Amino acid sequence: MTLSGLSYHELTSYSRGGMPPHFLDWEHQPEVFKTYKDAKPIPLPRRIVIDPGLDLDRVLKKYPDFPPPQITVQGLSSILLLTCTVTAKAAHSGRPFYFRSVASAGALYPFELYMYTQGIEGLKDGLYHYDIQRHALCPLRKISPADAAPGLNFFLTSIFFRSAWKYRDRAYRYCLLDTGHLLENLMLSVRSHGFKLRVFYDYDDHLVNSFLGLDPEKEASLAVCSTLHDESQHLVPARHTWNELPDKAQEASNVSGREVKYETIIQIHTSTLHPMKRYNGSARMDNLLGLVTRDEMKIKELPSWPGNLSYSEAVFSRRSRRNFINQPMTRSQFDSVLDALCVDRAPASGFCPISVALITEKINSLSRGFYLLDREVRTLRIVRKGRLLENMASICLDQAWLANASLHILFVSNLRVLDETMGSRGYRHAMLEAGRIGQIIYLLATSMGLGCCGVGAFYDDEATRILDLNESSKPLYLVAVGPVKAIK
């Protein structure tokens, strides 16, 4: 069965009163750390080498603004620490629970990170897996040295069952959003160290998965990045330079003693393996949602954003905090959110697959209402005024805490148009982009002392109706922001 992005989204939609009972198999809860039993990890130093006072706005808007330094093992270690690391440990249901710097639905952390290193002093050229728990590199393949500039290629994957254990067929949505969270943290970390990183959503999946030694029905690549290359065909070294992977390498993707294979996830992922179509039209997603807007408001480009925490402090302090209180966001905080949402993000395909909308409730000097953000020309346009946060809380599976936030940020797409213009791979692109921007909001909110929590669970058709979207336009992700109770 071939699934388009729209058909998968509709097939996995929630409906009020129509959700089947679902009991979690706690005895076989997936492991959240991947290990290769036959490989000897290389410990990395736990030290950040960037300016500890560097602000998030400078990383996002201005870096890199100097010639890149030489890549070293210490620099790579620092990049990885700021990309994804364990930030705290607690106990939950009798098991250890690990907080991470990257947001994840249900704290299930389906993503993994690999890198192909080339010409890095003190590190052999090869393919490595990042062991987050031990902050170490796990060597997987040796690569014959190439006569090329030193560089790094990163491969972001997802182990499907980690999320499917809880979310079943709908889990592919969360795998994409969570990988988007990781991708943005990686982008920011690399930029903060003075390097440019090119993101690829469109590449040869079969070649990359083979290089990583994956069974793509269990774990598959979702995005690739490079400090070296501008073309996707050079992201993986020539096959004749690969050595063999450790024995039973694919078994490392087994994360539970009882795993269920969800055919719907395999079908949608298989559909996204086709190359992405290139969009040749002139329409923009903002104009394809069926929304009528008015009263345009210009968004200011700010020299800096208010905040008590630096970029690195925000990364290590990030939490999903949703204990919102009845207190408004300041206008400067809201303007900073708008400015962050409008930071230039040239779409890889020539067509931006998502639109950003805002539902405001408690913002100083701003009317309550539903707004559409035009990130290209930096304007905010009203769709309709009035209180909507309680309605949104209702359609988000009646999670009442959402009504206490100051602001909901929605990522929306016309999935039929997306299928027609970009193919099923466009769905991957859209969800990854939504996750990436969501992670920026997490970090910005953290730096300003605000709470932030993402939600991917909706009564999907109700959401379309309440927001007055046309039939094929769907909300993909919601991020709630606002003041929260102080942590004692």
Give the span between the Cα atoms of 450 and 482, in whole angstroms.
5
Centre a 10 Å sphere on the Cβ of residue 29 and count the other Cβ atoms it contains: 17
CA dihedral 12, 17, 18, 23 (to 10 degrees): 80
Q: ∠ CA 197-198-200 to the nearest 5 degrees?
A: 140
Residues facing 355 on adjacent strands: 412
Residue 59 tokens read as: 């990383």
Q: Which amino acid is at 160?
A: F
Considering Cα of 79, then 82, then 84, then 88, what sign does the dihedral take? positive
Domain span(s) for CATH 3.40.109.10 in the chain: 5-271, 285-482
Give domain 285-482's CATH number out of 3.40.50.740, 3.40.50.10810, 3.40.50.300, 3.40.109.10.
3.40.109.10
- Per the confidence metrics, is the pTM higher than 0.85? yes
Edge-to-edge strand order for the sheet containing 111-118? Answer: 42-43, 136-142, 126-131, 111-118, 151-159, 219-226, 198-200
CA distance 458 to 52: 39
Helix axes 73-83, 171-192, angle to 10 degrees: 140
User: What is the pLDDT, as a whole number, of residue 238?
Assistant: 86
**Cα of 208 vs its chain's centroid, Å:** 20
Task: Write out pLDDT tens, residues 395-433.
Answer: 999 999 999 999 999 999 999 999 999 999 999 999 999
Contact 356, 373 (CB under 8 A): yes
Strands 136-142 and 42-43 turn out to be: antiparallel
CA atoms within 13 A on the CB side of 270: 12
d(CA 447, CA 13): 34
Q: Closest Cα to residue 463, out of 20, 17, 15?
A: 15
| 5-271 is a CATH 3.40.50.720 domain | no
Q: Provide the β-strand partners of residue 98.
A: 89
Token reading at 261: 């294979």
Q: What's residue 249's pLDDT?
A: 87
Residue of 396, 425, 361, 427 lying closest to 105 (CA atoms): 396
Show pLDDT as tens, one digit a residue, over the chain (488 residues).
789 999 999 999 999 988 878 888 988 999 999 999 888 999 999 999 999 999 999 999 887 766 677 889 999 999 999 999 999 888 776 777 888 999 999 999 999 999 999 888 889 999 999 999 999 999 999 888 666 677 899 999 999 999 999 999 999 999 999 999 999 999 999 999 999 899 999 999 999 999 999 999 999 999 999 988 777 668 898 888 888 887 788 899 999 999 999 999 999 999 999 888 777 667 789 999 999 999 999 999 999 999 999 999 999 999 999 999 989 999 999 999 999 999 976 655 567 899 999 999 999 999 999 999 999 999 999 999 999 999 999 999 999 999 999 999 999 999 999 999 999 999 999 999 999 999 999 999 999 999 999 999 999 999 999 999 999 999 999 999 999 998 65
